[in-house]
Amino acid sequence: MDFDAIILGAGVIGLATARQLALTGRSVLVLEQHARPGTETSARNSEVIHAGIYYPANSLKAKLCVTGRKLLYQYCDAHRVSYRKTGKLIVATAPEQRPALARLLAQGQANGVTDLQILNRQSLSEMEPDLAAIEAVYSPSTGIIDSHGLMLALQGDLEAHGGLVCCNSPVTELTQLDDGGFRVEVGGAEPTAVSSRVLVNCAGHSAQYLSRILQGPGAAGIPPAYLSKGCYFTVSRRLPFSHLIYPLPSDGGLGIHLTLDLAGNARFGPDTEWVTSLDYRVDPTRCESFYRAIRTYYPDLRDGELVPDYAGIRPKVTGPGEASGDFIIVDQRTHGIPDYIALYGIESPGLTSCLAIAEEVCARLRCHDRENSRPNSHITKQQADYENSDHR
């Protein structure tokens, strides 16, 4: 074999997984179809380190977010990746929203987020005088991060341990070898083929497509794929906020929230638009719905000051009108292929969870090495039910 492991996709999940495998002494190759790592989902998000509040108890999202947050802060400190614990306020702007806020507090506590607080109107006025809210859940452990700096650090770690990242390397064919392992054919300027004992599919929007190449159409464990586009708008002036401001979740997302970058500049978004292609253009007319949403908690937003910024597209495994799906990580127990792990629907909080996801993948590979038994790290009932179902 040319490599012990090949990783498909050099987003933050692929880089974190490749790094973790390289730390075990494996030779690792990462194949990325674009000209540089992390240009899709990993580079087009709010750059928030989430606490782990929103997700169903015992889901992979909840477990891996809570664990991943702790790992990520430690990693940033050790590798000098820029971040700031800004804290987050999830706000109720009308009395009828108080029960939903209480349910969100209980959900976060059930997930192991131990530092959440309920703040009343007076406390909020002292903390953020320009915020229009009657109550909020305060999450002091939420933060923001330089996602590009994180990916550079992960790539540097990987390469320091002998790993390689090859960009402009689209995968054109995947084949399971008769004696174990995989052959990967790569296009680009100089087409080639490489082989590995282990194959991990971290390809984001292309994950389902690549699994169908390997497994065939309609194979077990490949979920449907949906695209949820979210646009961001910014303003030219400095806004009077020092915390992240989130409304209550709605429409398959976390609502049009106010986040800050590390320089203190504010941006708003994302909204939710179900699309069928990876078109990252921002429609300026979408700002009208932004004004309405933002003014529920920041009424002093001025007419005409929202400016289109960028858009991201989230890889979803559930569609319009459905509850948000969990992370899906499938292995031999689902698809029957030894040493192949595929990850689907790794949207938010994927950035926060990246190091915990990488540990989960390695735990499953170690279990395959030990008689193909079930790993006991973060397998949940929801995940087990999915893997045991005839899901297509």
Which domains are delineated in the chain? 3-44+148-222+325-388 (3.50.50.60), 88-140+226-316 (3.30.9.10)
pLDDT digits (tens, 9 = 90+) for 234-256: 999 999 999 999 999 876 678 89
Separation of alpha carbons 145 and 45, rounded Å: 11
| Residue 71 neighbours by CB under 8 Å, 6+ apart | 355, 356, 359
What per-residue confidence (pLDDT) applies to 217?
Answer: 81
Separation of alpha carbons 306 and 314, rounded Å: 23
Instruction: Report residue 157 CA to chain centroid gap.
Output: 20
Concatenated DSSP letters of 265-286? -EEEE---EEESS------GGG
User: Do 311 and 232 form a contact (C-beta atoms < 8 A)?
Assistant: yes
Separation of alpha carbons 381 and 272, rounded Å: 29
Separation of alpha carbons 137 and 101, rounded Å: 7
User: Do 360 and 64 form a contact (C-beta atoms < 8 A)?
Assistant: yes
What per-residue confidence (pLDDT) applies to 251?
Answer: 64
pLDDT digits (tens, 9 = 90+) for 178-187: 999 999 999 9
Tokens of 346: 């790794």
Tokens of 39: 């240009």
Residue-wise over 60-99: b if at least 16 C-beta within 10 A, else e? bbbbbbbbbbebbbebbeeeebebeebbbbbbbbeeebee
Over its C-alpha atoms, the chain yields an Rg (Å, rounded) of 21
User: Do 315 and 346 form a contact (C-beta atoms < 8 A)?
Assistant: yes
Query: In sequence order, what are the beta bridge partners of 191?
Result: none
Beta strands in the chain (DSSP E): 3-8, 28-31, 48-49, 83-84, 88-92, 117-120, 135-139, 143-145, 164-166, 171-176, 182-186, 192-201, 226-234, 244-246, 257-260, 266-269, 273-275, 307-316, 328-330, 340-344
Separation of alpha carbons 22 and 331, rounded Å: 20
**Which residue bears the tokens 């194979």?**
219
User: Do 6 and 31 form a contact (C-beta atoms < 8 A)?
Assistant: yes
What per-residue confidence (pLDDT) applies to 37?
Answer: 98
pLDDT < 70 regions, the chain: 251-252, 367-392
Rounded-to-10 torsion of CA 89, 94, 98, 99? -130
What per-residue confidence (pLDDT) applies to 368?
Answer: 57
Question: In a 3-state reduction of DSSP, which class is residue 191?
Answer: coil
Listed residue (198, 141, 117) closest to 352, CA to CA: 141
* Length of the chain counted residue by residue: 392
Query: In sequence order, what are the beta bridge partners of 347?
Result: none
Bond before 270 cis per omega within 30 degrees = yes
The structure's pTM equals: 0.93
What per-residue confidence (pLDDT) applies to 250?
Answer: 73
What per-residue confidence (pLDDT) applies to 153?
Answer: 98
User: Do 5 and 199 form a contact (C-beta atoms < 8 A)?
Assistant: yes
